[in-house]
Chain A
């Protein structure tokens, strides 16, 4: 879209916003769906392979005649060390390493592709490297059609495949008898018509599987039958329609509508805990009213639906049971109230084993995997809210990615980042400001952790970038997650909590079951807020601008007394060091009790960052007086000069820390002295205390070395 078109679109939407009344109507799923999968699959837990047959109905959403179909074969990322995924990741992801034994590799083979009419398409099957990536990568395949699929027409294919799950290290795979099957079947890409997501021409959006990318697919219907040894406990996306036994095998039939993926798990060790989310009792007190206030809606408009939840827990993680349940209910409450009721009837929460945590912390429609390392379940680390945080985050993906189906390859911030922001808010509401709260006062809140991550990263990438285009895995992670959390918090502080909440709900409602882009996000926020947010988009999302207001210098001295010739109302007076020079015959009164010492305080504030954004300045004097001033956005620096009867104790910029985007807090204040009330700071004591603490820890370290001697 050209700049002119975009400006026109923005003007039109501003005008339309004035005419629109009432909440936006939510988006409805496309019907009939673009894709319909009917899959029969059978697991061999000894070889960790899945034999599958898939019938896929694909409906052409465009006005184009489509002559080929493109599929993701994600499992081929684990086939060998020349795949794009393994070359980019170096064989590790999120701290887990790939196995190197022959049985540790994973792959997917398509043995047959035919149309419903029996036309064999396998000869035309060829691998693609759509991102100019490694020529040996086999995660994208194309099939040419003997006849094009007509505009808005459909085609049905029968695909036979064999999937070998890898030893789990990157979301999907096995360890011992634990199996987590994600991205395990041939999955058709997304054909985007012209105009969708800003495309000039229609075409396939089917990227290779990169180390730092996730997934993108059309909404549809999944009808999946799994044949698994009867001793295994099974969980999957969607609703269990039927369950039957045949000898030593069990057959599970699952069905899911309005989803864009299907995952499942099987492990004989799972302990099943089923519970129900009942909104009438499980929504924490006060949340409904708070959400209603922020959204400007009546509490009755925020009704939630009951959900049947199935928790599949490892036997040695029994301590995590209550934490999983409580955090799942908190997540259902928060996301439902602030964005919209969770529309599905079921949710499955999977707890991977200790040696299978590569599968943990992952999201699929109506199916999430948590993470509960054993050491975090015991004192003192049980006070680290890791289990809760992962559960809430992964559930949140039911909204950002699950229902709002942004392209995780190209705009990872729209799902990971928005969800990170939601996760922070939900965690704060449910558990208080600190997610880490160890004995001795050691702890941190989510925003501090995000700030630490953001400020320690070389500022090489903007938030919005193709997932594989970041300078490093760390850059992908920080830009997609934490930095967006800070951006959203900054936006919320600037727009106001209520406006932000309404805008975000409107974005969710409008783009549910669709594929929005960055432009769509800003369009909704601008429409609801009535503000031009291009400066945020340009600087914070698509740029690398930092904000760094600082107290450059501060000093306070006795104010110079008047000296020289002054024209007062009473006439011309000559002063010498503050006292009028009188004729010699006039004796001077000695009483100077009403002479008060005055001090001149000069503070220079400067914005060392690239983003022009205002801040609040605060000067606190030793007698406790507080003076606040606004530092305007357009100013690069501001010098404040105050003449007052007390010395300056300290000066600070953004003392309440509403500028969440601020890059460096270390230069946000200067302390000159101490005093009463607000001027009473403990910095000197702090320096001494923490120096002693550092020496003490070093002393313990020295004494630990004695164990050798």
Chain B
């Protein structure tokens, strides 16, 4: 097996004998819900109303480098994550839908917590949420050749207070790098500016958190005194999404996922890449509200 040359996108992965991709279930066109529980109807309704409004008029999203998202084949999108109820995931998905030459649905990895909490469990899969299990990511990336969006910072990113804005947290244990390596699919880093100011967190209300069993209960400009809807009380910050050059994961030989040190190094490099990009974007930003 030769090591991949430095082409921008990896060549077709070699077929191994127990490749079961040919046996994936067929698409039943009468269905409006996918096998992952994604509902065309719910997603479409949300996209045409809330997402559309936020994307065009509220956040006035600026998108750069959307062509870095491959037009076909699986790819793992990796972004920084912030805000009390982070608007970044929906806006990245919307940006690909609006700006990309060949728009595709984005599957958003979410914490297992949401699968166990009523209403979240029902609604998030309908709009493209998938529990962040390595097997799920592998199936989506490798077998089904889909776009998967991951936030390696996870909760640590969304929990961080306004004073710590744009300082990326640890990138988990590098699980996202391992998944992309195993699936032999590229990683597309994304830098998002604006989400921190759109939904700032000033403090955490640990008492309410314990009472409700939620992941966290933040104090934001509109929550909790604005009720449940206060969670959606975004400030109209200008959002800027920049897709960076894809990083092929086939460049490290045959089974790079066995090398824990390599995984950690790559994860750290991607984190540094996004962090640098964020500083660059922030240095050029003249106004939080007008970009």
A and B, one complex?
A: no
- Point out residues on B near A: beta carbons under 8 Å: none
- Point out residues on A near B: beta carbons under 8 Å: none
